[in-house]
Amino acid sequence: MKKVNVIGAGLAGSEACYFLLKRGYEVHLYEKRPKVMTPAHTSEYFGELVCSNSLKSNSLDNACGLLKEEMRHMDSLTMQVAKETAVPSGNALSVDRELFAKKITAILKQFPNLIVRNEDVSVPPEGVCIIATGPLTSEALSSYLSKTIGQESLFFFDASAPIVKKDSINMNIAYKKARYDQGDDSYINCPFSEEEYKAFYNELVNAELAMIHDFDKSYFEGCMPIEVLAKRGFDTMRYGPLKPKGLQMMDRPKAYAVVQLRQDNSFGDLYNIVGFQTNLTYGEQKRVFRMIPGLENAEFVRYGLMHRNTYICAPLALNENLSLKNNSNLFIAGQLNGVEGYVESAAMGILAAVYAMHKLEGKEIPQLPSETILGSLHNYIIHADPKNFSPMNANFGILYGANKHNREESIEKSLKLIDEWWKKINA
């Protein structure tokens, strides 16, 4: 029987195990809990949801909903158990978190070919190994990874600014310009009048914050949440990321402050709001950041966030098949490989297992179509700009070939293509 090691029994690790166990592989699953807990997990169970009990939208016209449907087509353990443990929550898929984790654990432990080892792994075992140790990967293993891929390719904190769709920015108000006209004019600038800035400032400093864990409270000065910076003083942002100097336009009134947006993907249809990493709740980000002139109808494809997050700079360190460029026996799955979110992490668990299986069998991997949301996520993490790489969740902004006008066809195509791909995987 061929053997695979999996480190981490979170969402990604559980999915990877399920895929391989069903196909008869001997899986050695290394999980440090309950011997050693993480700062967020509280139980011994596999697939524990560390915060919200919601797996987000279930509807197909939401990208995370589409990802869930693709995962159902791939016989996902997360989707199967989420259905069995669902609690009412409108359009969202939410679960009884304890029952969810207990069921995942029970299903996996039924397989006689699973060997569970409660160890805090500091060096991966020999052979093919899927590392799915998540955002709170223990220190010793992080240090091993850092030595293997280089310090510059492993991050420990996620301070992401919101990303908006370019075509939702009002270019009658916003304009393209580089500071002092140096370099190219790839930045989009949103100018504030004094009155607009005052109104924005007041809402920002009073906006509702998301829950913050103690281990998430140590900020680096260079990536301070925008609301924390604002609370230091009325003008602080104007001397920092909202500095108007060098961004004035001759034919317009003098701007009191300017918010800059930087291109986020090579396609050029996504822009991040520079310096706007934040702990505001998603609802408040939408309300307050839409007060920025030019962003009144901004469509957010990802909201800003700040939390402890160990993740790999995938475009630098990973091969197309999610293995490390410096050690092709080590596959990286889940949040550690640069995706963000429960569902996205679980989906990456399936994908890493598919790739690990192909390596063991010495088979060529059928190309994962970019027009699927799973393919788009994979595409994003492998091909993003490594300089500004930050974790990505499922959203239509990254779905190849999709736009506002062909949403329905894109969804249909995505499901058809994932089916075709899945058939090839199982052939």
Binding residues for ligand FAD (CB under 6 A): 7-13, 30-33, 38, 40-41, 50-52, 120-121, 132-138, 141, 213, 307, 334-336, 341-342, 345
Beta strand 163-165 pairing with 300-302: antiparallel
The least distance separating ligand FAD from the CB of residue 343, rounded to whole angstroms, comes to 7
What is the C-alpha separation between 322 and 314, in angstroms, rounded?
8
Shortest distance, position 102 Cβ to ligand FAD, whole Å: 14
Compute the distance between CA of residue 353 and CA of residue 360 in angstroms, rounded to an integer.
Answer: 10
The span from the CA of 142 to the CA of 177, in Å, is: 40
The residue among 334 and 369 lying less far from ligand FAD, judged by its C-beta, is 334
Nearest approach in angstroms of CB 378 to ligand FAD is: 15
Q: Which residues contact 214 (CB under 8 A, 6 or more apart)?
A: 39
User: What is the Cα–Cα distance from 318 to 307, expressed in whole angstroms?
Assistant: 23
Written as one letter, the residue type at 33 is: R
In whole angstroms, how close is the CB of 99 to ligand FAD at the nearest point?
17
Question: Is the separation of the CB atoms in 121 and 32 below 8 Å?
Answer: yes
Nearest distance, CB of residue 420 and ligand FAD, angstroms: 27
Residue 37 or 199 having the CB closest to ligand FAD:
37
CA–CA gap between residue 13 and residue 18 (Å, rounded): 9
Nearer to ligand FAD, 121 or 402 (CB): 121
CA 62/CA 65 separation, integer angstroms: 5
Q: What whole-number distance in Å separates Cα of residue 375 and Cα of residue 414? A: 9
Nearer to ligand FAD, 10 or 225 (CB): 10
How many Cα atoms occupy the beta-carbon half-sphere of 96 within 13 Å? 8
Please say whether the beta carbons of 131 and 336 come within 8 A.
Answer: yes
Given a contact cutoff of 8 angstroms between Cβ atoms, the answer to whether 140 and 122 are in contact is yes
Least gap, CB of 310 to ligand FAD (angstroms): 9
142/248 with CB nearer ligand FAD: 142
Supply the minimum distance, in Å, between the C-beta of residue 40 and ligand FAD: 4
Of residues 8 and 162, the one with the C-beta less far from ligand FAD? 8
User: Which residue is at the shortest CB distance from ligand FAD?
Assistant: 10
Q: Which is nearer to ligand FAD, 136 or 174 (CB)?
A: 136
